[in-house]
Chains A and B, each alone.
Chain A
């Protein structure tokens, strides 16, 4: 096909050759020339369906791409998303590069070089179609500019999502050329479009992320500039707030009056729940001014507070709402902590339950401490004090020591051991093996007797302890941490 010939040729020459090729191709593949020469939207749409059979076609020209302004972001995002999928499936880098090149208003030669550089390695008609489609656009600088402008607009809204989608799978793009084109675009754009170019540069930089090392620096710089611009936007918000607070304290009344009027419009923006930084800035600023009565509160709180629809917006109620939210958040957490209080609603009842629970816990602690005290008096403390020390320091024969020191000390040892999940396997095995069977049996009996006396024993703890004591021999490998402290 003529297209193939064209794409096999050199990049710079392709520009001249392309239109003719395209014309030939257009006839064969339903590529309306008029569409190519016109603006971005309708011809693109037409092209999309008619002309590219593969996913790339849909990617390049999405059907929803009607209006230049509103759907730009949507289209671009779609394109980028599909770009990613396509690149995954086919490793079609040139298409993505075509996209990138198209977004920039660089001279067509760059675009074509971009498309051509990696055309050879990529099979499929779609690429050729895309490239051929791109050429006429590239040939028209005015079109390129408008296209770039639209893309910028769309990109600004969706570049974060789209860029990541598209670039992650972009694979090999000629980063140098794309980044160069973007640089040119940035230079040519001017201050008014600095944001868009920054976004685009970020887009381009991201596209280049997986590229050759030669272009990585360029892409990094672009990405950095993009990131900087975003960071600048974010920083402006808190800086504005910081500036406003000292200013507001000397001039409380006039700014309040002004802002009470502006607050409403700004808060209306909030109510639309736009995530844009500008609205965030405005709302934050208004909120900050409103709450200058409490300048000591951390700035962080202001970011999260939003005057919801239908709620009072004066400073006191806002501050109260912040406090109320804090308290309710903690109450929710307490609800999760206290057993059986999930369905309880209302602060008073919840607090009642919390107080009851804390009191019961404290009573349990008292009871257990009394029990421990009685147990302490009964047992031989000399041995018990000895045993842990021996464990820490000396290497004493394990079973021998047990027999000598008695069950109390061994119980202590056991208790301490049980708290070490890492060591339980070997220790349990040793202990169980060394203990005589005579000791084992009364162990169980004694234990069950003991348990009958004390009502407060948790069922789980009890069962697990019995299991541990009884089956120490047979199931020595079971870690005791599971048994005693099931978590």
Chain B
């Protein structure tokens, strides 16, 4: 009886939804499959166990890394997260150096090229803001930035769902463990 769940676990783990990048609707369907949730959930639990002693930031980073892993490197933001985690110190140093050399690189002309000046500024500002929100997409053109944003949003939704379920389960378990007074 126990063997069957374990086998099912491994079977579930091997099931991976493989989709091609570059299309928005595929991104959405990819993140909303149950298989992806299971994969991510398992990865999340592993990461939590590994980072048990550290503080909440470590947990967040671990969960983000797990999410990026689940994306399997197909999106820009996932690659940026994974690369950032692997060498955090080097990444920070690189950023600092880049900042000194080029104090303020001009905003890419692409974002402003297409829109009229009064609204174009707002739009380009917001696009820049969105680029800062999505990891690794600061200097991206508008269409690809929007694509990354779609993928990132879908992934975030899945992450929130899974983490919430896990937190519920854990909290219920801990409370029940505390109540009987054992």
The distance in angstroms between the C-alpha atoms of A365 and B167, with both chains bound, is 11
- The answer, among A355, A366, A427, for a CB contact under 8 Å with B60, is A366
Q: Among the interface residues B169, B180, B182, which one has the most CB atoms of the partner chain A within 10 A?
A: B169
The distance in angstroms between the C-alpha atoms of A398 and B54, with both chains bound, is 32
* Chain B residues closer than 8 Å to A191, beta-carbon distance: none
With A376-B52, A408-B177 known as contacts, the answer to whether A485 contacts B37 (CB < 8 A) is: yes
Summed over the interface, the residue pairs from A and B with CB atoms below 8 Å come to a total of 248
How many residues of chain B have a CB within 8 Å of chain A? 77
The distance in angstroms between the C-alpha atoms of A364 and B163, with both chains bound, is 10
One digit per residue, 1 when the CB lies within 8 angstroms of any chain A CB and 0 when it does not, for chain B 58-75 equals 111001100000000000
The distance in angstroms between the C-alpha atoms of A352 and B123, with both chains bound, is 9
Check A471 for interface membership: any CB of B closer than 8 A.
Answer: no
Cβ–Cβ contact B172 & A485, under 8 A: no
Q: Among the interface residues B42, B175, B176, B177, which one has the most CB atoms of the partner chain A within 10 A?
A: B176
Cβ–Cβ contact B171 & A450, under 8 A: yes
Name B70-88 residues within 8 Å CB distance of A. none
With A376-B59, A449-B175 known as contacts, the answer to whether A368 contacts B167 (CB < 8 A) is: yes
Check B154 for interface membership: any CB of A closer than 8 A.
Answer: yes
The distance in angstroms between the C-alpha atoms of A323 and B58, with both chains bound, is 40
**Nearest CB on B from A464, distance (A):** 10
Cβ–Cβ contact A412 & B149, under 8 A: no
Cβ–Cβ contact B34 & A481, under 8 A: yes
- The answer, among B9, B28, B127, B134, for a CB contact under 8 Å with A392, is B9
- The answer, among A368, A378, A415, A449, for a CB contact under 8 Å with B41, is A415
Q: Among the interface residues B143, B153, B175, which one has the most CB atoms of the partner chain A within 10 A?
A: B175
Check B156 for interface membership: any CB of A closer than 8 A.
Answer: yes
Contact residues of B: prevailing secondary structure: helix
The distance in angstroms between the C-alpha atoms of A324 and B12, with both chains bound, is 41
* Chain B residues closer than 8 Å to A388, beta-carbon distance: 45
The distance in angstroms between the C-alpha atoms of A409 and B8, with both chains bound, is 19
7 cross-chain pairs, A with B, having the tightest CB-CB distances, nearest first: A411-B173, A446-B175, A369-B60, A330-B146, A351-B126, A370-B56, A373-B56
Cβ–Cβ contact A368 & B133, under 8 A: no
Check A443 for interface membership: any CB of B closer than 8 A.
Answer: yes
* Chain A residues closer than 8 Å to B10, beta-carbon distance: 392
Name A324-362 residues within 8 Å CB distance of B. 324, 326-327, 329-331, 333-334, 337-338, 346-348, 351-352, 354-355, 357-359, 361-362
Cβ–Cβ contact A365 & B60, under 8 A: yes
20 extra A-B contacts, CB within 8 A, seeds A451-B168, A485-B165: A333-B150, A334-B149, A346-B119, A354-B149, A364-B160, A365-B60, A365-B159, A368-B160, A368-B167, A372-B163, A379-B170, A394-B2, A408-B173, A412-B45, A419-B12, A420-B8, A420-B9, A420-B12, A427-B5, A447-B172
Q: List the B residue with the shortest CB-CB distance to A469.
A: B172
Check A13 for interface membership: any CB of B closer than 8 A.
Answer: no
Cβ–Cβ contact A333 & B172, under 8 A: no
Check B24 for interface membership: any CB of A closer than 8 A.
Answer: yes
Cβ–Cβ contact A411 & B169, under 8 A: yes
Cβ–Cβ contact B147 & A358, under 8 A: no
Check A4 for interface membership: any CB of B closer than 8 A.
Answer: no
- The answer, among B114, B115, B165, for a CB contact under 8 Å with A415, is B165
The distance in angstroms between the C-alpha atoms of A393 and B147, with both chains bound, is 41
**Nearest CB on B from A349, distance (A):** 9
The distance in angstroms between the C-alpha atoms of A450 and B174, with both chains bound, is 10
